[in-house]
Amino acid sequence: MPKNRDAARANLESLYRIFTVPEAPDSTLGAVDQAITDDVAGFLQTHIVAIERSMEEIEASFSSFTIPEEPTYVSEYTEFVKDNLVAQSVHTAAPGFVGHMTSALPYFMLPLARLMTALNQNLVKVETSKAFTPMERQVLAMLHHLVYRLPDDFYPRWIHDSQHALGAFCSGGTIANVTALWVARNRLFAPEGDFRGITQVGLAGALKHRGADGIAVLVSERGHYSFGKAADLLGIGRDNLIKVQTDNSNRIDLKLLKDECRRLQDRNVIPLAIVGIAGTTETGNIDPLEALADFAREIGCHFHVDAAWGGPTLFSDRYRALLAGIERADSVTIDAHKQLYVPMGAGMVVFRDPTALSAIEHHANYILRHGSKDLGSHTLEGSRPGKSMLVHAGFSIIGRKGYELLIDMGIERAKHFADMIRNLPDFELTSEPELNILTYRYAPLKVQQAMENATPQKRAALNALLDQVCMLLQKIQREAGKTFVSRTRLRIARHGEELTVLRVVLANPLTTDEILEGVLREQCEIVQRPEIQALLHQLEELCDDPAAG
């Protein structure tokens, strides 16, 4: 009998046991624990069920709204977890799951994450983290060096400086982007003379001080939605998040960017920051960072690079140059839970100027005292886990060259997959991979040809039907559960309109060319289904209809 069955009685003795007695290896939880220790990939493979239950069915297991009155057995609860959570989870580590940015993890992340949980350090202050604080500061310095490559004598001065931080470790790219814009905002409205700064007087007072009517952030239409949240949160307003159109390669159009800046000037709105993207979430493209750096300098505004996805490309000797200009950014976001292969919940933002984060510095009497090395004085978040240990582990174990291999493999596989799509006449590549992300759609050759000299109305009608094909195709493939690609809607410059496209992210090193061929083969099979054939039939008729233009 598992020892912790005792915990099912609410008395002091059982309470004591759940804090002290480890789970027996022959108990249900003990067995799960052992199974993921022995072979986590095998465990996921066997316990995640491929066929989806409907969300309604799943919700039924989570519909009670009262906290259980009585304790339960750990084993009983673990059974519940196996059946209702594990079985109905998404197998994000599967090599055929190429639709999102979440992929497989190196095996050592799991035991180290458990160690992290066991230690339960809180990075907000040295008093609850001790060695974890210098370790995290080192991780931030390493990332800073990867991005900025400042001279070697720069780092010893700043790495463990009690007054400053080279960056902020946070739960992901969203908080990293918010932090970057928060710093930019506070530096734009820094205290001077009688003006006590936006931190004290708020946005209205700050604008009055500058005689301005607003502040704006400029980013391409491919910008991540976290900038919308940041604009809302920081008082910028979503209307002042200016989304600049992109060119044929999904990169910000510089001429339009400059036009937008002129329009802001006419409205007496100050550009707070220009954001360049290094690896757009949907298409993996990189903005012209050098040109953006030049322009940001010209108009004297903060230049932020969102490299949440593409940042680790800096590890690659072959592809690093794609990000040229990133080293001129005032701040750079890089997600660790994406291409650093750390479990979910880790991102970072680094600042070129080691004093930049002072703009959001805050202190409290019981912790975060002046002169302490507490990292919490320079972060948006308060209590934080020791996740940086897992980044440290990745940097140490995989190393620059290991990450380089992962990056190079992903980019080359994407180029190869693009070739595979180009070789299928009934598929259309809608965005060329620059990194390891690409988009495409199913579009019969005949429709593609008819599109070329069709009137705008006919094109729109054809595209509307193709959108439906794409949507159905993705849905059927997802529900079949063998392989997975995602879908999105993008304005494709060549078509001049927003289209539904399939999106593939190639970050899992276990994804082989055979698996990718399988993805396309399955899609060719799915389009034979009657519901899609009906749409294809309509497309064909439309193509042949001379009256449709």
Ligand X SMILES: *Cc1c(COP(=O)(O)O)cnc(C)c1O
Residues that bind ligand X (CB under 6 A): 101, 172-174, 177, 224, 226, 277, 279, 281, 306, 308-309, 335, 347
Nearest to 307 by CA among 335, 340, 265: 335
Residue 523 class from Cβ within 10 Å (0-12 exposed, 13-18 middle, 19+ buried)? buried
φ and ψ at 76, to 5 degrees? -65, -45
| Shortest CB 382 distance to ligand X, Å | 18
Tokens representing 175 are 């908080």
Q: How far apart are CA 413 and CA 415, in angstroms?
A: 5
| Shortest CB 48 distance to ligand X, Å | 22
Q: Which alpha helices (H) appear in 241-374, and where do they start and end?
A: 254-266, 289-299
DSSP class of residue 23 equals P
| Shortest CB 371 distance to ligand X, Å | 32
Q: How far apart are CA 502 and CA 495, in angstroms?
A: 16
Q: How far apart are CA 311 and CA 146, in angstroms?
A: 9
Of 75 and 281, CB closest to ligand X: 281
Nearest to 250 by CA among 494, 459, 467, 414: 494
| Shortest CB 97 distance to ligand X, Å | 16
Residue 169 class from Cβ within 10 Å (0-12 exposed, 13-18 middle, 19+ buried)? buried
| Shortest CB 304 distance to ligand X, Å | 11
Of 170 and 216, CB closest to ligand X: 170
Q: Name the residue with the smallest CB distance to ligand X.
A: 173
Q: How far apart are CA 504 and CA 64, in angstroms?
A: 37
Of 172 and 271, CB closest to ligand X: 172
| Shortest CB 262 distance to ligand X, Å | 27
Q: How far apart are CA 173 and CA 226, in angstroms?
A: 8
**Is residue 239 a contact partner of residue 282, using CB atoms and an 8 Å limit?**
no
Parallel, antiparallel or unpaired: strands 331-335 and 302-306: parallel
| Shortest CB 285 distance to ligand X, Å | 10
Of 179 and 240, CB closest to ligand X: 179
Of 178 and 536, CB closest to ligand X: 178
Of 271 and 310, CB closest to ligand X: 310
Of 136 and 287, CB closest to ligand X: 287
